[in-house]
Amino acid sequence: MAHRRHKAVHEEEHENHERWLITYADMITLLMVLFIVLFSIGQVDLKKFEELKHSLNNSAGGPAKPNPVVMGGSGVLTAGAQIDGATPGGSGNLGAPVPSSEAAVALLQQKGSTAAARERAALEGAAQAIKQALAGRGLQDAVTFREELRGLVVTVVSDNVLYPVGSSVLQPEGRDVLDALGPALAKLPNDISVEGHTDNQPIIPGGQYPSNWELSTARATNVVRFLQDSVGIDPDRLQAVGLSQYHPVAPNTTVQGRSQNRRIEIALLPLEKTPEP
């Protein structure tokens, strides 16, 4: 009996080793099947990607290429039919042909050029209105105009017009100039940047302003306050900038040049940027 029990135990241990090997072989087989499935899925995705690329290329105006999505026998969609079912040139945006990228850029440039032309015409009209208003008050020589990329710039010489030398208090003649400018500025939707400039002469020590930075900023701020309070321009459209002595328009070596540099510039900023070619 003891011999038979020992033999049975020995046979059971041998049977357990074989079962472990079978399980291991099954796991290897399952892994192999998994990799085959993943490989098959990857191949299908590549095919779909190629089909999508051809479809996008054709709709964007590129060279026509065979598209297995729309080619083939009869069915719900005929060969080359649009996916939304609308006929080319039909009503609605869904059936409209998709423009090429070059055509889209050209269309945007055309729209931008048209808007820029309308805005330029409005600014030129405002300049003419300002000139007529100033001429009616005998102040036509107090203001000059120039056009820059940032918009129309109205320059008011501050000496003997807006402020006394070294001061930021508006003079009566300066108020008359701003009164003449105001109605034309108020009719436009453009934002307005008021910029104060000085010459390079240092501030007298002990004065109200420690440097030309503070003086130029105070002068621009007082013009902004006048345009807001007396003319009625929306303050959301206004900004005051002090630029001190660092943007001269004439040499500071002469009395006349320094007088030209002491100025206020009122810039009518563009509503839209003109698209680059």
pLDDT digits (tens, 9 = 90+) for 46-60: 566 676 666 656 655
Largest Cα–Cα distance of the chain, in whole Å?
138
pLDDT 10s digits, 229-242: 999 999 999 999 99
Q: Is residue 35 assigned to a domain?
A: no
Q: Is residue 135 assigned to a domain?
A: yes
Is 189 a residue whose pLDDT tops 80? yes
Q: Is residue 199 assigned to a domain?
A: yes
Confidence of residue 193 (pLDDT cuts 50, 70, 90): very high
**CA–CA dist 160, 155 (Å, integer):** 14
Q: If DSSP codes are grouped into helix, strand and coil, which group holds residue 163?
A: strand
Give the model's pLDDT for residue 151.
85
Q: Is residue 50 assigned to a domain?
A: no
Q: Is residue 276 assigned to a domain?
A: no
Average pLDDT on 155-181 reads 88
DSSP 247: S
Q: Is residue 182 assigned to a domain?
A: yes
Q: Which domain holds residue 187?
A: 116-268
Of the given ranges (12-16, 68-72, 185-189), which has the lowest mean pLDDT? 68-72
For 55, 95, 157, the CA distances from 75, given in Å and listed in that order, are 19, 20, 79
Q: How many CB atoms lie within 10 A of CB 132?
A: 12
Domain count, the chain: 1
Q: How far apart are the first and last CA of the chain?
A: 104
Q: Which two tokens stand for residue 108?
A: 């945007």
**pTM for this prediction:** 0.58
Q: How many CB atoms lie within 10 A of CB 67?
A: 18
Q: Is residue 41 assigned to a domain?
A: no
Say if CB 267 and CB 195 are below 8 A apart: yes
Q: Is residue 185 assigned to a domain?
A: yes
CATH number of domain containing 182: 3.30.1330.60
Burial of 197 (0-12, 13-18, 19+ CB in 10 A): buried
